[in-house]
């Protein structure tokens, strides 16, 4: 049976996923902006977020959350982490019982330090909650470049059923039952992407980038495991795969923020000039609190936080890392 999809969020990744699911399933995407809705319905484009891209013609758009989710067999949340709770609460009265809710956001809620699936479980108890994540740069996927993702849910049977909803052509979707690890991998790697972007902007070189990515993986794995994720998850698509793509690509929003910081711009100016949210900027605050709670050493994240919120320069950050005592690479976690 073909499942109907209701997707909330009209940014680049939400639109890309909606266009993918529309190839296999009846799909409605909700966007706040009436002009965006009209553009998707009439011209099958979303130029603001996906320039020069043609969307699947059967994809329909709506500015009504009710119309988007009331008949959906799967609800996909494509809004940023800090808007997630509010949008889900608006949608709650119209979502039918037991419908799975899948998160696309790669961030943590600042006020509660919660993952998005934890928010789903709090607001919508009884609804299977999951996350679609991995090394997925929206613009590349939309233009037909091969990519792989992970759908992670506690219930493997539901995850396998949803594999067919999201898989399309060269976009391959794998399953994983470690929801905690998959969600944390997606959120934590954004901070490392800011760090590598800072290095690229300051012309630190490829050796530095390689070191930051490698030690960054070790760092996010330590915290992820301390919070209940499986170590193996961080060496898969949701961890290392996503980390490499985000840290290496100029298409990454978080890398872009770091790059501009490395060039000497201030954070307020960078954010003002962007049309989309770089989740790592806000996630950095939460990660510092989580690292303290779980007693995990996170030197790269600490230096990124100091640049974002304490007025340190990129050069201060790299000096801080170089001044750290060098330990063994064979470390716990």
Residue positions annotated with a catalytic role: 189
Roughly what angle, to the nearest 10 degrees, separates helices 179-201 and 314-322?
110
* Cα–Cα distance list, 300 to 139, 188, 220, 287 (Å): 28, 11, 10, 11
DSSP string, 261-298: HHTT--HHHHHHH-SS--HHHHHHHHHHHHHHHTT---
Interior/surface letters 50-80, b for 16+ CB within 10 angstroms, e for the rest:
beebebeeebbbbbebeebbbebbbbbbbbb
- Answer whether 89's CB lies under 8 Å from 123's CB: yes
Distance of CA 14 to the CA centre of its chain: 11
What proportions of the chain, in percent to the nearest 5, are helix, strand and coil?
A: 55, 10, 35
Strands 101-103 and 129-133: parallel
Taking the C-alpha atoms of 85, 157, 30 and 44 in order, what is their torsion angle to the nearest 10 degrees?
Answer: 150
């Amino acid at each position: 049976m073909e499942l109907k999809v209701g997707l909330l969020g009209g940014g680049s990744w939400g639109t890309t996923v909606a266009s993918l699911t529309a190839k296999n399933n009846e799909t409605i995407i909700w966007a706040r902006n009436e002009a965006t809705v009209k553009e998707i319905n009439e011209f099958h484009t979303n130029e603001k977020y996906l320039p020069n891209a043609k969307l699947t013609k059967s994809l329909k758009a709506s500015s009504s959350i009710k119309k988007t989710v009331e008949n959906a067999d799967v609800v996909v949340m494509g809004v940023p982490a800090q808007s997630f709770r509010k949008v889900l609460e608006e949608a709650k009265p119209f979502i039918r019982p037991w419908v799975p809710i899948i998160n696309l956001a790669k961030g943590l809620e600042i006020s509660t330090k919660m993952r998005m699936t934890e928010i789903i479980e709090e607001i919508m108890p009884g609804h299977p909650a999951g996350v679609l994540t991995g090394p997925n740069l929206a613009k590349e996927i939309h233009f037909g470049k091969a990519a792989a993702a992970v759908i992670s849910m506690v219930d493997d049977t539901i995850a396998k059923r949803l594999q067919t909803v999201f898989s399309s052509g060269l976009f391959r979707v794998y399953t994983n039952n470690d929801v905690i690890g998959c969600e944390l991998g997606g959120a934590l790697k954004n901070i490392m992407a800011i760090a590598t972007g800072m290095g690229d902007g300051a012309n630190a070189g490829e050796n530095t980038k390689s070191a930051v990515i490698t030690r960054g993986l070790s760092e996010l794995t330590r915290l992820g495991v301390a919070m209940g994720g499986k170590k193996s998850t961080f060496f898969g698509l949701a961890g290392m795969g996503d980390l490499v793509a985000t840290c290496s690509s100029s298409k990454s929003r978080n890398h872009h923020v770091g790059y501009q910081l490395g060039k000497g711009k201030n954070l307020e100016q960078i954010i003002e000039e962007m049309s989309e949210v770089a989740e790592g900027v806000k996630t950095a605050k939460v990660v510092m609190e989580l690292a303290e709670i779980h007693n995990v050493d996170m030197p790269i994240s600490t230096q990124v936080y100091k640049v974002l919120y304490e007025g340190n320069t990129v050069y201060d950050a790299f000096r801080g890392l170089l001044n750290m005592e060098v330990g063994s690479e064979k470390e716990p976690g």
